Amino acid sequence: MAQTQYTEDNIRSLDWKEHIRMRPGMYIGKLGDGSSADDGIYILLKETIDNCIDEFVMGAGKTIEISIPGDKVIVRDFGRGIPLGKLVDVVSKMNTGGKYDTRAFKKSVGLNGVGTKAVNALSSYFRVESTRDGKSKSAEFETGNLINEELLEETSRRRGTKVTFTPDESIFKKYKYRNEYVERMLRNYVYLNPGLTILFNGEKFYSENGLKDLLEDNNSVDDLLYPIIHLRGEDIEVAITHSKTQYSEEYHSFVNGQHTTQGGTHQSAFREALVRTIRDFYGKNYDPSDVRKSIISAISIKVMEPVFESQTKTKLGSTDMGGELPTVRTYINDFVGKQLDNYLHKNPETAEKIQRKIMMAERERKELSGIRKLAKERAKKASLHNKKLRDCRVHLADMKNERRLESTLFITEGDSASGSITKSRDVNTQAVFSLRGKPLNSYGMSKKIVYENEEFNLLQAALNIEESMEDLRYNNIVIATDADVDGMHIRLLLITFFLQFFPELIKENHLYILQTPLFRVRNKKETIYCYSEDEKKVAIQKLTGKPEITRFKGLGEISPDEFKHFIGDDIRLEPIMLDKALSIEELLKFYMGKNTPDRQEFIINNLKVEVDLVEQE
């Protein structure tokens, strides 16, 4: 067998923009088209805004203006402005930036100076303009290459920095910014920075009460067991309450303004501090799971030079607060231990409600202990025999893996559909879970049903979410069912299951519906897959002659060779999002409870709309 030559000619040196464009996953996680909240186009926006936030934190500029007209993004702050002589270097030279100087940025979000360079390199057009000391300068780039650098000019404009960029469509294919994701990001920014005003397409985002506002805005007041406990320190802020109906734990954690969706040392320390403080206060050695059951909380800390486990900063790895401060664990333990204990002494009514909640959780856990043990054994056995789950190689917990955010579990029904997906999937990042028949309607049922029902028990085990969302195995959970009445029903039953027992999977944007084509339109030269009647009409007009039209009745009818197009680079995912106006209980009661006049009227009205549309066609 001939050996492959390995000489000096094989050695390449990439400049900064080539490396970013060749390995974008190292800098912004996954790419995507904007259907997922952690798709790359939102990371580009976040990296740009982070610099504006750092200015606000340093006391420079109280307003940020953002607009997204079409595919272009414009971000303007009123901070100190980038030093004009270094404007080009800051956005195009690695290891260059103010974040390396802690005199200028003490507790910054971005520390390695890579963020803006990644935005520049991954944009087909990028423009930066800085104004300070009555002077202004700007520079323009295309895919990271400098195409125009303007000379200094006198100006009366307010100081600050303005960045305009258009993500490169050759990298982010058919992308689209979703306002829901952008708005959620902006809300988090104002929660973490009370006094900051963000204007997005003319809408104002502002918060007076920080993390307290976050919990109130994300949850129905009727579902909260007691008023939110809001504790603030110099470099720490905590908000705590318990849900009346939710089973699992829910955490919103932040470091230096960065949303650490995967938690980290600070979140682990907070969970530990909460249990220790509660045990000490009541003088009872409560089980940690009973203390934390149904908790809804948020924690934000500020540290010097934080260390994250990936460039996308979703998990904190730091163990130290920085400077002469104690460790993260000690700092959080001391703060929570003192402040929460004081609060509970001063608010005995809240303390009593918490204790009753813990005791109820304890009773339920003991009642379920035998069932849980059997359920775990069944799940382990099923996994060994690979009956339900065809796993992938990369998982969400693989923090160092560039493709971890692509980890996906397809939940499908029927052997033919699951077989097609299994044969056409990417075995590195895509797993398949096969349902057997329709899931149970779990509305109104207790957690006991999750362990007693084989499908629910095995699905919970596959996702690895029994104890905590921190252990979630896949970033994307995709319901893949036929686009018919039965398929729609299965979707609804699965969404009910997640809302009932694991709502944070939906709140944190992990749940999606797979969109698959309804029609295939083709002639001898070209094939077009259509996802709607309108797309079919356009395809028929485009293809010459009399094209062949196929109507797909189910996923099982689509061959594996064709299916790989629909779950590959061109995958279409529809995110499941919660309406803030409705509580989860109200939502489930309306759609899954007993028949009510309101729901009957809703069905009749929407059925009439569908009939009218058909008649118009």
Region 98-112 average pLDDT? 44
The DSSP symbol for 459 reads: H
Say yes or no to pLDDT of 2 above 60.
no
218-244 confidence digits (pLDDT tens): 887 788 999 999 999 988 999 999 998
pLDDT bin (cut points 50, 70, 90) of residue 614 is: very low
| Rounded Cα distance, 510 and 520, in Å | 29
Stretch 589-609: mean pLDDT, rounded?
A: 62
Whether 253 and 175 map to the same domain: the answer is: no
**Does residue 499 surpass a pLDDT of 70?**
yes
For residue 201, what is the domain's CATH number?
Answer: 3.30.565.10
Does residue 107 carry a pLDDT above 70?
A: no
pLDDT at 310: 65
| Per-residue model confidence (pLDDT) at position 612 | 41
* Residue finishing a domain among 165, 184, 205: 205
φ/ψ of 327, rounded to 5, equals -65, 160
The answer to whether residue 603 is domain-embedded is: no
Tokens representing residue 155 in the block: 């100006």
In tens, the pLDDT along 152-161 reads 888 888 999 9
Average pLDDT in the 476-484 region?
A: 88
Q: What mean pLDDT comes out for the span 49-58? A: 88
125 part of a folded domain: yes
Q: Are residues 296 and 341 in the same domain?
A: yes
612: in domain? no
Q: Who wins on pLDDT, 614 or 48?
A: 48
Query: Is the pLDDT higher at 98 or at 293?
Result: 293
DSSP secondary structure string, 477-541?
EEEE--SSHHHHHHHHHHHHHHHHH-THHHHTT-EEEEE--SEEEE-SS-EEEESSHHHHHHHHH
Sorting pLDDT into bands at 50, 70 and 90, what band is 409? very high
Point out the domain boundary residue: 180, 205, 230.
205
pLDDT reported for residue 229: 96
Helix (H) or strand (E) holding 130: strand 123-132
| Of the ranges 59-63, 350-354, 570-574, the best mean pLDDT one | 350-354
- Residue 307 pLDDT class (50, 70, 90 cuts): confident
Instruction: Supply the pTM of this predicted model.
Output: 0.82
When pLDDT is cut at 50, 70 and 90, the band that residue 439 belongs to is: confident
* 3-class DSSP state of 449: helix
The token duo for 311 is: 């460039």
Whether residue 610 is predicted with pLDDT greater than 50 in this model: the reply is no
215 in the same domain as 177: no
Banded model confidence at residue 524, pLDDT cuts 50, 70, 90: confident
Final residue belonging to a domain, choices 147, 172, 205: 205
pLDDT of the residue at 372? 79
CATH number at residue 570: 3.40.50.670
- How many Cβ atoms from other residues are within 10 Å of residue 73's Cβ? 23
377 versus 382: the higher-pLDDT residue is 377
Please check the confidence at residue 583 and state whether its pLDDT lies above 50: yes
Same domain? For 308 and 390 the reply is: no
Residues 231 and 189 occupy one common structural domain: no
Burial grade of 283 (CB within 10 A; 0-12, 13-18, 19 or more)? exposed
Domain span holding position 468 = 386-516+553-581
Nearest to 332 by CA among 279, 382, 381, 266: 266
Span of 4-13, 42-51, 302-311 with lowest mean pLDDT? 4-13
Q: Are residues 33 and 177 in the same domain?
A: yes
Query: Would the pLDDT of 384 be above 70?
Result: no
Q: Are residues 175 and 293 in the same domain?
A: no
Give the model's confidence band at 207: pLDDT under 50 very low, under 70 low, under 90 confident, else very high: very high
Mean pLDDT of the chain: 84
Find the range with the poorest average confidence among 307-321, 358-372, 458-472. 307-321
Q: What is the mean pLDDT of residues 255-270?
A: 86
pLDDT on residue 552: 84
Asked if residue 6 belongs to a domain, the reply is no
pLDDT at 43 over 50: yes
Say what the pLDDT of residue 67 is: 95
Residue count of the chain: 617
199 in the same domain as 170: yes
234 and 108 within one domain: no
Residue 609 has pLDDT above 50, yes or no: no
pLDDT of res. 560? 82
Q: Are 159 and 235 in a shared domain?
A: no
Number of domains composing the chain: 4
Q: What is the mean pLDDT of residues 114-139?
A: 91
Domain contains 596: no
CA atoms within 13 A on the CB side of 488: 4
Q: Is residue 322 part of a domain?
A: yes
- For residues 344 and 410, membership in a common domain is answered with no
Q: Would residue 9 count as lying in a domain?
A: no
Same domain for 413 and 323, yes or no, is no
CATH of the domain at 254: 3.30.230.10
In a domain, 616, yes or no: no
Cβ atoms of residues 64 and 195 within 8 Å: no
Tell me: pLDDT of 33 over 50: yes
Give 161-206 pLDDT, tens digit per residue.
999 999 999 999 889 999 999 999 999 999 999 999 999 988 999 9
Q: What is the pLDDT of residue 10?
A: 47
